[in-house]
Amino acid sequence: MYGFKEIDVAGLEALKSSGGFVLIDVRTDAEVSRGMIDNAVHMPLHLLPIKAQDIVQDKPVVFYCQSGGRSAQACAFLASKGYLNVYNLQGGIMGWMRSGKPLAVVA
C-alpha cells in the first residue's frame, strides 16, 4: 500500500544470514547512545531527505526506530523516491529487544 514491506525480527535474522542488505537506524543521537542493532548505520530521520541519494538501491534496505513509526515514515519516503526493496522492522528496536536479541554498544 505504501510501497514498502514489513519485516519481523525472524525475517531480519534470515536476511542477515543471506548477506547483502543495509540496516539503517533513524532514531535520535540520544536514543542511539543507549545501543543499536549490530551493523546498523545511524541516519537520523530528519537527515534522510538530504542523505537519501547515499543509500544503495541494489540491496534490500531495512529501517528501524524505537517502535516502528518513524522507520515507516522513512520507508514511505524512500519508496516515493523509487526504491523498490525497502523494509520496516516491525516493533522497531523494542521488538528486537523483546525477542531477546542483543544491542551493540555505540562507541
Q: Of the listed 65, 75, 86, 93, which one is catalytic?
A: 65
| 75 included as an active-site residue | no
Distances (CA, A) of 60 to 23, 32, 71: 9, 22, 14
Q: Which amino acid is at 94?
A: M
Residue 65 has a CB neighbour count (10 Å cut-off) of: 24
Catalytic residues, by residue number, are 65
